[in-house]
Amino acid sequence: MPPTSHRHQRGNWTRELVELAALFLAAGAVNLAITHAPTISSTALVVIGAFLLAAAAFRRSAKRPPRPEAPAAEPTPEAAEVRQTLWRLRASVTDTPGRLARLAGGLAALGADIRTMQVHPVEDGAVDEVLLHAPDRITRWDLIKAVEAAGGRDVVVARADVRELEDVPTRTANLAADLVGGCTDLVQALRALLGRVDVRWQEESPEVGSFTGQEMHLTAPGGGVLVLTRPGGSFTPAEFARASAMVDLAATCRARLRPTSESVRTSSGVDLTIRQADRSDVDLVAEFHERCSSAARYRRYFGPGPASGERGLQRLLTPALGRSLLVLSPDGDVVGMGNLMYDGDGGEIALLVRDDWQRRGIGTVLAEELVDHAQRLGLRTLTAHTHLDNTAIARTLRGAGLKLVGAPEPGEWSWSRDLQPS
């Protein structure tokens, strides 16, 4: 007999046992039906049939191959990917061999991945500035402890923006282009160049053109002094040189580029000229205020006029604090003025139109231009404050997209608009 036939015959034993068990069970059942009562022979036949049936079942289960286990589900890309947070880290270190390797090793132990790194030489060593990605589970204090364990001191850690991943030369060139093109101003450019620093303006400073520790004093093009501070960290000579170069570029732009002006036509069909103003226009603006009625000035300033008189006008015309627009009539007189004052991502607009030129669409033109300036500067919110009975300015602000949001003071309305940076 061929081997295959032999294996086939052996494989049928289970079926033969089942058939034999069925035969014994059937015989026992027939004997039980004839005698109408259990006998020794009928009981024996049933027991033998049950035993054979159990043996067949055992043989079948013993020969059954094991059921393959279901393969483990592969992790999805979302589950396998670890969420990352971008951090900016600054630390003072001693300029000794191996210190950078210790710093990188300490960060790597946390699962952090260094993206960019700058080394600023200073008198007592160096300041390392690092942009790194770290898992979300890693906290600011974890990073500080790791850097201090690697020999770092004066550690400052803060969340970073993804736009900071550009290398320094590329970011500086882009900021310079935006500054020349009017898409940013000097204060915003300095913040983008140096990271998270506080910038405030003041009229004068005996330390202008220098930096000491956590403060930097730079001459502001257009008047005054810009004071830059970095809480918890010191400026380096390289950062002072970069900031000074950016200020020089802004000053050169003001000297070489003529102020832009454009012709506009109001809704009443009057052709006017609108241009930016600075502190050199203070006499022209003072004359304009004198030709406005006290009621018009009160609606604009909530008082008789700008605080501190001429000094208040100079602040309104300081480029470092905002943008000022003048509307000139065909004969060259100032008939309207609009101001956009801002700090950080928020700005506030205010309008003043000479009484004999009101209700000719000048306010609408100014409001639209100021909103356009705010969008180009990347501001996120725009606000305004008016008197309850000033219905004319209310219509103008609504036309510019601002919405009434509340009454912060008795007799006063507050307006706001959310802007998407262009």
Nearest Cα neighbor of 319 from 180, 178, 187 is 187
Helix-strand-coil percent breakdown of the chain, rounded to 5?
45, 25, 30
- pLDDT for the residue 63: 56
- CB 226: neighbour CB atoms within 10 A? 22
Lowest mean pLDDT across 11-20, 214-223, 375-384 = 11-20
pLDDT digits (tens, 9 = 90+) for 225-273: 999 998 777 888 888 888 999 999 988 887 776 667 788 887 778 889 9
CA 104 and chain centroid, separation: 26
Q: What is the distance between the alpha carbons of residues 200 and 180, in angstroms, rounded to a whole number?
A: 22
Residue indicated by tokens 């918890």: 232
User: Strands 412-418 and 381-387: what pairing?
Assistant: antiparallel
- pLDDT for the residue 80: 43
- pLDDT for the residue 17: 63
The whole-chain average pLDDT of the chain stands at 81
Lowest mean pLDDT across 1-5, 56-60, 129-133, 250-254 = 1-5
- Give residue 408's pLDDT band: very low, low, confident or very high (50, 70, 90): confident
Residues 6+ apart with CB under 8 A from 239: 120, 194, 216
**Secondary structure of residue 331 in the 3-state scheme:** coil
> Which range in 156-170, 244-258, 339-353 is most confidently predicted, on average pLDDT?
339-353
pLDDT digits (tens, 9 = 90+) for 120-149: 888 778 888 888 899 989 888 999 899 888
Nearest Cα neighbor of 292 from 247, 377, 354, 363 is 354
Q: What is the distance between the alpha carbons of residues 242 and 38, in angstroms, rounded to a whole number?
A: 111
User: Strands 198-202 and 210-212: what pairing?
Assistant: unpaired
- The first and second tokens of residue 26, run together, are 């059937």
* Residues 271 and 330 sit within 8 Å (Cβ to Cβ): yes
- CB 318: neighbour CB atoms within 10 A? 19
Q: What is the distance between the alpha carbons of residues 130 and 116, in angstroms, rounded to a whole number?
A: 6
Q: What is the distance between the alpha carbons of residues 228 and 214, in angstroms, rounded to a whole number?
A: 8
Its pTM stands at 0.63
Strands (E), 57-152: 84-93, 113-122, 125-135
Residues 212-226: what's their mean pLDDT?
87
pLDDT digits (tens, 9 = 90+) for 68-90: 554 544 544 444 467 888 888 88
Using a 10 angstrom Cβ sphere, with 0-12 exposed, 13-18 middle and 19 or more buried, the burial of residue 120 is: middle
- State yes or no: pLDDT of 285 exceeds 90: yes
Strand partners of residue 282: none
